[in-house]
């Protein structure tokens, strides 16, 4: 049971990191568009 929880937790963390990095990329892209 604990092993399954660990796998789910790791997947959740990975998704969160992907979401944050995509959000940052979109914000950076928006700033680049505004400045040019």
What is the domain range of residue 22?
Answer: 1-36
Looking at residue 35, its pLDDT comes to: 77
Q: How far apart are CA 22 and CA 1, in angstroms?
A: 32
In this structure, what DSSP letter does residue 1 have?
-
Q: How far apart are CA 34 and CA 29, in angstroms?
A: 9
Looking at residue 24, its pLDDT comes to: 96
pLDDT 10s digits, 6-36: 999 999 999 999 999 999 999 999 888 887 6
Q: How far apart are CA 34 and CA 36, in angstroms?
A: 6
> Structural domain tally of the chain?
1
pTM, to two decimals: 0.64
Q: Indicate the SS3 state at residue 16.
A: helix
């Amino acid at each position: 049971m604990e092993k399954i929880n660990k796998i789910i937790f790791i997947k959740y963390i990975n998704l969160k990191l992907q979401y944050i990095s995509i959000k940052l990329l979109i914000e950076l892209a928006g700033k680049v568009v505004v400045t040019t």
